[in-house]
Amino acid sequence: MNVRALTLILLAGPAGAQGFAGLGTQAEGFAIPAPGYAFDFPADHGAHPAYRIEWWYLTANLTGPDGTPYGLQWTLFRSALAPEDGSGWDTPQLWMGHAAVTTPEAHFVTERLARGGIGQAGVVADPFAAWIDDWQLAGPDFDQLEMTASGPDFAYDMALSAEGPLVFHGDAGYSVKSAEGQASYYYSQPFYAVDGVLSLPQGDIPVTGRAWLDREWSSQPLSGDQTGWDWFSLTLEGAKLMGFRLRQADGSAYTYATWIDPDGAATAYSDGAFIAEPLARDGARDIPTTWRVTLPDRGVDVTVQALNPEAWMAVSIPYWEGPVTVSGSHDGTGYLEMTGYEGTSP
């Protein structure tokens, strides 16, 4: 679900920009998500410029020929200053890309920014293509995609093939984010099989694995007292679990989870059913990279541990995002994202 993009994108900008006026206020003129929305594909895979924020967010757990685990991230954010397309330089549509590769020893990350309206970045639904600069996530349809990205010290080229259906979170894709009712449209494709090549400083590495793509758009920022979040996407012996925990300024938390059966059938769990507790802090930034995650209704009681505690995303608005391993009641792999830890004690 990546709630952090709500903030991240609004705060995005070149070095020195300290964010926009109006963060946390109502979405003047922007469309607002409402329950009972009928998704229309492939059109809804494309951009929704009437909404303030939107993203195409892909994470993958990969394995090299020698069994070494790797993590990969490809993300495109859209942020609108006004609810219109615009054209040329005068467009209000801004785009931001993040790409990363995590190995047990290293973490490579890079960022791109662009404005829409000139063709430098954008998303079209059919045939599907999402791009910023030379990075691309594109294919004949949403089930068959090629994915590329590159930075000063890494690059990758992956082929993705969906082996299951789209999964809708919350109430048929209407995902509530706080007790006050802030919400987004949110669906995922968690069933991609991946193979491709990672180009790292030590050389090219052929890899295979699984990828999870999140699609979300909204116009309302988080509620004002939410300080950060912890987001888990876990693959547990066939089934999958997505859960997040929004931390409140008063120390409490708002949680949500979706349990996904191997055939794609989804069950939503509202606030309180999903529990995530930090077990140990680690890394240069003293961030909780070991967690106890439980969903008693499904008999889940697992320890989630970062593959590389230093998976820090040193981008415009920094956060932690990296692959994890799961052990306990279930074994598996997944991705963990944590925001709001920079410079503060949670």
Give me the residues that bind other proteins (CB under 8 A), please: 13-21, 81-82, 88-90, 92, 94, 110, 113-115, 118-120, 131, 133-134, 150-155, 199
CB nearer to other proteins: pick between 197 and 268: 197
Minimum distance from residue 108 beta carbon to other proteins (Å): 11
Q: Closer to other proteins at the Cβ: 1 or 80?
A: 80
Question: Other CB atoms closer than 10 Å to residue 154's CB: what's the count?
Answer: 21
**Least distance (Å) between residue 110 CB and other proteins:** 8
Of the pair 21, 284, the CB lying nearest other proteins is at 21
Nearer residue to other proteins within complex by CB, 81 or 279: 81
Nearer to other proteins by Cβ, of 12 and 145: the residue is 12
CB–CB of 311/327 below 8 Å?
A: no
> Which of residues 65 and 119 has its CB atom nearest to other proteins in the complex?
119
Identity at 335, one-letter amino acid code:
Y
91 vs 339 by CB, closer to other proteins: 91
Return the number of the residue (199 or 329) whose C-beta is nearest other proteins.
Answer: 199
What's the closest the beta carbon of residue 339 comes to other proteins, in angstroms?
21
Nearest approach, Cβ of 94 to other proteins (angstroms)? Answer: 7
> Looking at this protein, which amino acid is placed at residue 169?
H
- CB of residue 9 to other proteins, shortest distance in Å: 12
The whole-angstrom separation of Cα 127 and Cα 142 is 8
Residues with Cβ within 8 Å of 246's Cβ and at least 6 positions away in sequence, in order, are 3, 177, 178, 222, 226, 228, 229, 253, 254, 255
Q: How far is the CB of 152 from other proteins (least distance, A)?
A: 4
Burial (CB count within 10 angstroms: exposed 0-12, middle 13-18, buried 19+), residue 303:
middle
Of 18 and 345, which has the nearer Cβ to other proteins? 18
Kindly state the smallest distance separating residue 20's Cβ from other proteins, in Å. Answer: 6
Q: Nearest distance from residue 6's CB to other proteins, in Å?
A: 17
Instruction: Say which amino acid occupies 331.
Output: D
Compute the least distance from the CB of residue 104 to other proteins, in Å: 22
